[in-house]
Amino acid sequence: MTRLVLVRHGEAQSYVNGIIGGPQGCTGLSDLGRRQALALRDRLARTGDLADASAVYTSTLARAIETAEIINPAIGGHVLTSTCELCELHVDERLDGRPFEEFSAGYEWPPTVNPYAPWAEGAEPWAEFVLRVGRELDRLARAHAGETIVVVCHGGVIGAALSVFAELPLRQPFRLHIANSSMTEWALEPDIRGVDRWTLRRFNDAAHLES
Amino acid sequence: MPAVITRLVLVRHGEAECNVAKRFGGPLGCSGLSDNGREQVTKLRARLERTGELRHATVLYASTLPRAVETAEIINGALGLDLNTDERLCELHPGDADNMTFADYSTTFYAEGSAKWREDPSIPTAPGGESWTGFMCRVKDALHDVTDQHAGETIVIACHGGVIDTSMLELLGMSGGYVPARFVTENSSLTEWTRHRDRWRLVRYNDAAHLHL
């Protein structure tokens, strides 16, 4: 069985400031975000839940890397591998670092409303994003067959992964709640016919924020 | 007008005696929770008391099966609500397979029953039993009815793995015959949805953190 644990970053400072958090706009976690990541670290250290992790991946955005650095000591202290394939929906310089409200009139939001069009000028369409995320997670699952891997990433990535693994329609007829520092876990194993299938083991487990 | 958001929390029952015996737990086969199951649900109750995460709950339901009723009674120690039961929240009705071991089922009704679900999920599980599609429709209607009746409230339902799977399949849009992904809902776990008009939001699936402290 291959375990893929997707962790959403803690609250970002760019979110607090109402700024689009691309490579320029993202300046890492807020104080609350760091506390959320610490709560996850303490939980993982206590339960040993991800003690068998063999690799930790992150996006290249500061809020994901910082989250991974905080939880890493509790899951084995791995060398972090960062890749832009795991970033949130890409934005170019027309959007990155700009206030959300500047653009809110021109948005088609959420991006699943029309998956084939950019939700704003300079944004990655949802369908391209789902393909990018699906390709990367599939690659990681193959490269780490039989292992447990942790991917510290973004709400969009976790939602896209649900679309990929459960083969859901791109125009998602539902909404998702994905808390900062929450864990969503998938497992890949053969079914009784020997065909590899994904199993959702938990979605948005943020119990460490409740207590 | 403020948005009316309804919160629906589905609790899978603790481990049942019929689960341990690998029997169909319909009205005949279900004899309530095992000792382990009671311990699981007691851990959930302690968690709910500690976190207060369901302190806004106003409505408590269970299916009519003893393992769900017993689960609801235990967690109600942390909720303090009237307990309602509704047969539409039961696990798939097994018909003549009720109280039969899975091993016996596999040599009797299986070939003409669930073996054929991949081709035709409208075939009954056993004589007098429910089909997969019938079950999913029944559960979907029940979840919509209960959330219509208690719009704006927080509803807790002690129910079954099949009911929770169905919420995932129906509300995420996987209700066709082919189910690409699988689910593993643990005993005493929490699955939570919110509903705003006909827009459903998945808040969490299979949160069983209280079993892994």
The CA distance from B26 to B160, in Å, is 12
Give me the total of CB pairs closer than 8 Å, taking one residue from chain A and one from chain B: 89
**What average pLDDT does the structure give for chain A?**
94
Q: What is the mean pLDDT of residues B119-141?
A: 94
| Interchain proximity A166–B172, CB inside 8 Å | yes
Determine the distance in angstroms separating the CA of B202 from the nearest CA of chain A, rounded to an integer: 5
More confident residue, A12 or A104: A12
* Residue B118, pLDDT score: 83
Q: Residue B199 is part of which domain span?
A: 5-211
Among the partner residues B168, B199, B206, nearest to A202 by beta-carbon distance = B206
pLDDT of B14 strictly over 70 = yes
The CA distance from B8 to B142, in Å, is 12
Q: Give the H/E segment covering residue A144.
A: none
Among the partner residues A175, A198, A202, nearest to B207 by beta-carbon distance = A202
**pLDDT, tens digit (0-9, with 9 covering 90-100), for A91-143:** 999 999 999 888 766 666 788 888 999 888 899 999 999 999 999 999 999 99
* Residue A169, pLDDT score: 86
| Interchain proximity A47–B182, CB inside 8 Å | no
- Which DSSP string corresponds to A34-74? HHHHHHHHHHHHHH-TTTTEEEEEE-SSHHHHHHHHHHGGG
Query: If you measure CA to CA, which chain A residue comes closest to B206?
Result: A202
Q: What is the pTM of this model?
A: 0.95
Is B1 an 8 Å CB contact of chain A?
Answer: no
pLDDT of B1 strictly over 60 = no
ipTM confidence score: 0.92
pLDDT of B11 strictly over 90 = yes
**How many structural domains are present in chain B?**
1
Provide CB contacts within 8 A for A48, sequence distance 6+.
Answer: none
* Residue B173, pLDDT score: 83
* Residue B69, pLDDT score: 98
**How many structural domains are present in chain A?**
1
* Residue A185, pLDDT score: 98
Q: Residue B177: which pLDDT band, with cuts at 50, 70 and 90?
A: low
The candidate with the shortest Cα–Cα distance to A153, out of A181, A122, A187, is A181
Q: CATH number for the domain including B65? A: 3.40.50.1240
| Interchain proximity A205–B50, CB inside 8 Å | no
Report in angstroms the alpha-carbon separations of B91 from B82, B98, B160.
22, 11, 6
Please report residues of B whose CB lies closer than 8 A to that of A198. 180-182
* Residue A177, pLDDT score: 97
Q: CATH number for the domain including A157? A: 3.40.50.1240
Q: Residue A7 is part of which domain span?
A: 2-209
